[in-house]
Amino acid sequence: MAMPYKFAEAFARRDIAALVALFSPSPEVIYIGTGADERRFGIQQVRDQLQRDLDQADEILFRFDWVRAGSAGPVAWTAAEGALIADLGQQHVELPLRFTAVLEVLGGEWLMVQAHLSVPAAGQELGASFPSSAMAVARAVAEEQPDLRGQAAPDGTVTILFTDLEDSTLMTERLGDQGWMRLLRTHNAILRRRVHAHGGFEVKSQGDGFMFAFSGGREAILCAVDIQREFAAHNESNPDMPLVVRIGMHAGEVVRERGDFFGRNVVLAARIAAQAPAGSIWVSGLLKDLVEAAGDIRFGPEELIDLKGLTGLQRVAEVLWEETEHVHPELEE
C-alpha cells in the first residue's frame, strides 16, 4: 500500500493540495493527531489541520521502518511506524511516529476516510501500557518552562529530583478511592516536609509524581536519603499500606542553557526515576561526580544504561541510602 509514502511525499513537498487530495471528500472523513485538539471531522477541518502542521515547521519528513496493509473489496487499511523528522524554527526534532488509515475506492483511486498520525507517548517505557508519573510531570514542565533561576547555585546549576510512586494503580484498586486519597495525602506530606527541611522547591506535581529543584546537589541527595528513610519508617508501621517510591536525580545549568535544561536535563532526571528500582535513589554520573568528593554519601558502582529518547548510554549510580550517615535537618512542626 503506497498511501503512507504518498502522505510523506506530499508533506516533504509542503503541498497542501496534494495532501488534501489523498482524503475522501466525504463529510464523514476523520483525521486524528497527537494534540489534545487534533480530532478533525470533515474535509475542511482536515485541511486546516494539515495546513497548521505545515505552518508550524520549516520542514517535515517521515521515515517509515515498518509498513503493513490489507484490503477487503472496496475497503483497505494500512499502518506504518517510523520517525518524524522536523525543523521547528531553531529546533530540530526526531520523534517516533505512527500512522494508520482506512481507505475506500472513489473514482478508481484509494482515498483515506480515516487517518491517524501521532507521536507515541514520550514518557512510556518499553513494556508499559501507560507513561510513568515522573515522565508525565517532565512533559508538563517542558511545556511550561518555569523560571528556576531562583533555585540555581552561584554557578547557575540546578539539581532536579523526581519521585515516582510504585504500584499506585494497584493500591487504588485495593484501598478504594477514599483510602487511596488518604494514603496519597500521607505520601505528599512526607515529600513536601522533607524537601522543605532541605531547602528544596516544588516545581510540579501531577498525580503521584513530583519534581523538586535544589540549588545544591549534596543537599538534594541528602533530602532523597531522608525521604526514603521516612517512607521506610512508614512502611514498617503500616505494612498493609506501604509507600514505595523510586527517585531519579540529575543536575544541569539553567541560566545559560535554558532550552537544553528543559529539553534534556529534566527528561534525563525523569527517565532515571522511571527506570530506577522501587525504593531506590539513582543519580546521573554527572551529579555523582559533583558531590562524591565530600565523602559523606555512599554510592554503588556506576552503570551504563540506555534511556529512551536519549542518545547513547547514560552513566548512573545508586545512592546507598541505608549506608549514608548524616544529621537530619530539624523539621518544623
DSSP 281-323: EEEEHHHHHHHGGG--S-B---EEEE-TTSSSEEEEEEB-TTT
Residue 15 has pLDDT above 50, yes or no: yes
Q: Does the predicted TM-score (pTM) go above 0.95?
A: no
Residue 90 has pLDDT above 70, yes or no: no
- pLDDT of res. 44: 95
319-333 burial: b if 16+ Cβ within 10 Å, else e: bebeebeeeeeeeee
Domain range 3-118, CATH class: alpha beta
**pLDDT, average across residues 264-277:** 90
**In Å, how far from its chain's centre is CA 116?**
21
**pLDDT, average across residues 205-233:** 94
Q: What residue spans in the chain does CATH classification 3.30.70.1230 cover?
A: 133-318
- CB neighbour list of residue 192: distance below 8 Å, 6 or more residues apart: 202
Q: What residue spans in the chain does CATH classification 3.10.450.50 cover?
A: 3-118
CA distances from 71 to 5, 8, 28 (A): 17, 21, 20
* Residue given cell 489534545 in the structure block: 36
- pLDDT of res. 89: 63
Query: Is CATH 1.10.260.40 the classification given to domain 133-318?
Result: no
User: Per residue in 97-140, pLDDT tens?
Assistant: 899 999 999 988 999 999 999 876 555 555 555 567 787 788 78
Helix axes 168-197, 217-237, angle to 10 degrees: 130
